[in-house]
């Protein structure tokens, strides 16, 4: 079991949520594939491993995970809402490879500050932000 999954389970417990089989399974599959997955993607992947989860359950689990910052939503190619495991705390700078779908996450205090300042210049009070880049990852770039 990976570190991220173990941490997530601990957070669930600490907050008084049950550590159920469905919740573990969703965590595992998100960690396994390392790219954004929609609720139905998750259902399909689990089914391939012979595990069945009702889609409603998956929706509710993902809602909870987002609430607890164990996962978050990203805008992916095609515009669908996907979820991926949270990497570093609070960061939402993502790079999605348009070839293989791989997702990388990185943090930048500098960028955050600059963005906030620019927003404030027009009177906007930022509470949260998300930045997504679409492009080609290093692996896919080599293969071309």
Partner DNA sequence: TCATAATTGCAATAATGTTGCATTTAACAT
Partner DNA sequence: ATGTTAAATGCAACATTATTGCAATTATGA
Binding region for its own copies (CB under 8 A): 73-75, 79-81, 93, 95, 97-98, 104, 106, 108, 110-111, 114-115, 118-119, 122-138, 141
Stretch that binds DNA, among 35-43, 86-94, 100-108, 111-119 (CB under 7 A): 35-43
CA-to-CA distance for 36 and 42, rounded, in angstroms?
10
Question: Would you say 71 and 113 are in contact if contact means Cβ atoms under 8 Å apart?
Answer: no
Radius of gyration of the chain (CA): 17
Q: Which of 2, 10, 20, 133 binds DNA (CB under 7 A)?
A: 20
Among 73, 58, 67, which Cα is nearest to 27's? 58
Q: How far is the CB of 144 from Mn ion (least distance, A)?
A: 28
Residues interacting with Mn ion, by CB under 5 A?
91-92
């Amino acid at each position: 079991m990976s570190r991220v999954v173990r941490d997530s389970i601990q957070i669930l417990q600490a907050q008084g949520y049950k550590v159920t089989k469905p919740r573990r399974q969703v965590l595992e599959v998100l960690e396994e594939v390392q790219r954004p997955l929609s609720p139905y993607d998750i259902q399909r992947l689990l089914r391939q491993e012979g595990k069945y989860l009702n889609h409603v359950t998956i929706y509710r689990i993902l809602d909870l995970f987002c609430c607890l910052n164990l996962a978050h939503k990203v805008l992916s190619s095609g515009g669908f809402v996907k979820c991926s495991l949270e990497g570093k705390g609070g960061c939402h700078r993502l790079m999605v490879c348009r070839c293989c779908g791989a997702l990388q996450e990185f943090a930048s205090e500098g960028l955050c500050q600059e963005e906030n300042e620019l927003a404030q210049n027009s009177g906007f009070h930022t509470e949260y932000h998300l930045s997504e880049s679409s492009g080609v990852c290093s692996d896919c770039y080599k293969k071309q």
